[in-house]
Amino acid sequence: MQDFDKGRGALALGHALALVTVIIWGVTFVSTKVLLEVFTPVEILCTRFVLGYLFLWVLWPRRLPRRLTAREEALFFLAGLSGICLYYLAENVALVYTRASNVGVIVCLSPFFTALLGRFSSSREPLGGWFFAGLALSLAGVGLICWGGEKEVSFNWRGDLLAASAGLIWAAYSLLVKRITTLSLPALPVTRRIFMWGIVCMIPAAALDGFSVSAAELLDPVMGGNLLFLGLVASGLCFVFWSVTVRALGAVASTVYIYLIPVVTVATAIVVLGDPFTAPVVCGMVLVIAGLACAQGADALIRRVLSRAAH
């Protein structure tokens, strides 16, 4: 009975942390949009991940348990370059050109990009008809959100394409992280190592951008608060939350919560930024989530059937 109660407690904690995490991640797009009123995309990127990196040292003040080989270090470098530097740079610049709600929804198509890249990688994972049906639904939803009733499409298409490229970059990062997890290293120092390489890769962009963040800007309650939110909470603390979530619920059940991120982003953008709340936007959100759930649910069902058939 005691073990049963502990199991229920772990599940409850996992669901609670998952909900908190996706809400925070959904708000990050709006938070970044607010910061763009004062800072450049590169300034936000660098400040956010330096704060996150330092915070991860506070959470885990120890090094990796062993020395990495050159091949393993190359994996960490590529993960930092793709998932930290290029992904967030594309996302931040996209927010300059288009609405936060657009970016939040389009970036969440990354599971499709991951599956497509995985199909052509060494794993050669098969893609069924349900996957492409889900992809079609989600793309239709993205079209409704981005262009349904939009009068200034010429202004938005740059940001929408950058958001799509961010989703593709995240897919490549996900495959790299999948390989890194096979090294059986602690999650927190692994993430910190990826953050470190991401920050190193940001240095050329910061030099070209003319990085200049003043103390007055950092001490401004709105600007400083949003930077602390992105660096400490969204980049540092939420990683810990998500690790507990995946451990308690499993990877498949945890992924379902990811589909709430675009809903949170759009709702927050409507309230904070005044983004339009129209029928096409609502229908688009429903289609995107339905498409993601369709592809993910069908994939999980196929895997269960194949697993049972094998036994």
Residue 190 · residue 66 · CB < 8 Å: no
State mean pLDDT over 253-268.
76
Task: Give the C-alpha separation, 171 to 4, whole Å.
Answer: 37
pLDDT at 248: 76
pLDDT at 139 over 60: yes
pLDDT at 47 over 90: yes
* DSSP-based three-state secondary structure for 294: helix
Q: Which of 16-20, 153-157, 261-265 has the lowest mean pLDDT?
A: 153-157
Residues comprising the chain, all counted:
311
Q: How many other CB atoms are there within 10 angstroms of residue 135's CB atom?
A: 21
Closest C-alpha to 31, from 185, 227, 244: 227
Task: Give the C-alpha separation, 147 to 281, whole Å.
Answer: 9
pLDDT at 67: 92
The tokens for 44 are 């936000």
Q: What percent of the chain has pLDDT over 70?
A: 81
Please report the DSSP string for 252-282 in residue order.
HHHHHHHTTHHHHHHHHIIIII-----HHHH
Residue 259 · residue 109 · CB < 8 Å: no
Task: Give the C-alpha separation, 151 to 154, whole Å.
Answer: 9
Number of structural domains the chain divides into: 1
Task: Give the C-alpha separation, 24 to 30, whole Å.
Answer: 10
Residue-wise pLDDT tens digits, 55-91:
999 988 998 999 999 999 999 999 999 989 999 999 9
pLDDT at 92: 93
pLDDT at 54 over 80: yes
Give the DSSP H or E segment for 228. helix 221-228
Residue 110 · residue 225 · CB < 8 Å: no
State mean pLDDT over 112-121.
70
Highest mean pLDDT among 101-110, 112-121, 140-149: 101-110
Q: Which of 118-122, 187-191, 225-229, 295-299 has the lowest mean pLDDT?
A: 295-299
pLDDT at 95 over 80: yes
pLDDT at 24: 94
Burial class (CB in 10 A: 0-12, 13-18, 19+), 154: exposed
Q: How many other CB atoms are there within 10 angstroms of residue 13's CB atom?
A: 15
pTM, to two decimals: 0.80
pLDDT at 278: 78
Residue-wise pLDDT tens digits, 22-38:
899 889 999 999 999 99
Domain holding 70, by residue range, is 2-310
Task: Give the C-alpha separation, 44 to 93, whole Å.
Answer: 10
The tokens for 106 are 């389009």
Higher pLDDT, 187 or 228: 228
Query: Confidence class of residue 119 from pLDDT cuts 50, 70 and 90?
Result: low
pLDDT at 154: 43
pLDDT at 14: 80
pLDDT at 305: 44
Query: Confidence class of residue 2 from pLDDT cuts 50, 70 and 90?
Result: very low
pLDDT at 122 over 60: no
Residue 111 · residue 300 · CB < 8 Å: no
Task: Give the C-alpha separation, 148 to 151, whole Å.
Answer: 9
The tokens for 142 are 């993205």
Residue 295 · residue 111 · CB < 8 Å: yes
Residue 236 · residue 123 · CB < 8 Å: no
pLDDT at 1 over 50: no
To the nearest 10°, report the CA torsion of 43, 48, 54, 56: -150
Highest mean pLDDT among 17-21, 132-136, 279-283: 17-21
Task: Give the C-alpha separation, 169 to 110, whole Å.
Answer: 8
State mean pLDDT over 142-169.
72
